[in-house]
Amino acid sequence: MTVRTAPVAQCIADDDWRIIAVDDAYTELLGRPRDEILGRSPLEFTAPVDQAINDVLLRRLSRDERAFRIIKRYVRGDGALQWVSNHVSTFRDGAGPRRILATCEAQDEPAAAGDVVRLRRDAVALLRTIGSAKHAFGDDLIGSPALEALLHLYLAEMEGRSLTPRCIAALIRHSEAVTLRWIKVLEQRRFAEVERAIPIDLAAPMRISGVAQRMMEDITGTLQPHRG
């Protein structure tokens, strides 16, 4: 079954994040039998690099009942990584306790493992080119804060690092106020995901979305034909 024809999967957990029910599509998505899934936290099946932001979002959901969407990786039973887009919300089981519902859609892998080194090299080269141009002509004439922020988030994702809005402001050499405005735009267009309060917490962890990651790979891929 391909990602495009895979059915939407569902998982229900209790208020302690223990899985209490899954459908057949969810067991197929994880490549694990139902009895191996029930009673465990979804974070146990989440790739380590994605666990921190997922944990923060689940804690916010438990506290404020704010639904969220996250693009992340599950670790299947055979050890392979499966990209998914999950929408997570709460509901009441009749007059009973609160439950957590995750609706999961399989996603295509942003990049093959063998391409990671090349993609990272291309992203670093693009950032260096922008940096050299800014040094020569000035920050106010050269560069796009949004593109530079996405490039840094893209590299952080590949390297398993976490960035915050404050880190990004320093990396792209713009004020925190300007950086926050661009981060808000990236959030609205679903190119970035950030755990934030109102206003945005400058120390909050954030990451590039799966959609933006695939777009970034398309951009760096255009550099290939020009190599000598």
Render 142-185 in DSSP notation, one character per residue.
S--HHHHHHHHHHHHHHHT--B-HHHHHHHHT--HHHHHHHHHH
Structurally, the chain folds into a number of domains equal to: 2
> Residue range 57-84: average pLDDT?
88
On whether both 7 and 77 belong to a single domain, the answer is: yes
On whether both 70 and 151 belong to a single domain, the answer is: no
- Residue 1 confidence class, pLDDT cut points 50, 70, 90: very low
On whether both 38 and 79 belong to a single domain, the answer is: yes
pTM over 0.85: no
Regarding predicted confidence, which is higher, 26 or 196? 26
Residue 64 to residue 87: CA distance in whole angstroms? 16
On whether both 137 and 55 belong to a single domain, the answer is: no
Domain boundary residue, one of 106, 125, 156: 106
pLDDT exceeds 80 at position 114: no
pLDDT at 228: 42
Residue 125 to residue 117: CA distance in whole angstroms? 12
Expressed as residue numbers, the domain containing 142 is: 113-226
Contact 105, 77 (CB under 8 A): no
DSSP secondary structure code for residue 40 in this structure: S
- Residue 25 confidence class, pLDDT cut points 50, 70, 90: very high
Residue 11 to residue 93: CA distance in whole angstroms? 14
On whether both 126 and 45 belong to a single domain, the answer is: no
pLDDT at 4: 47
> Residue range 31-59: average pLDDT?
91
Of 15-24, 134-143, 219-228, which gets the smallest average pLDDT?
A: 219-228
Contact 17, 98 (CB under 8 A): no
Contact 84, 69 (CB under 8 A): no
On whether both 124 and 102 belong to a single domain, the answer is: no
Of 67-76, 110-119, 159-168, 180-189, which gets the smallest average pLDDT?
A: 110-119
Residue 61 to residue 69: CA distance in whole angstroms? 11
Contact 41, 17 (CB under 8 A): yes
Of 31-40, 45-54, 114-123, the range with the highest mean pLDDT is: 31-40
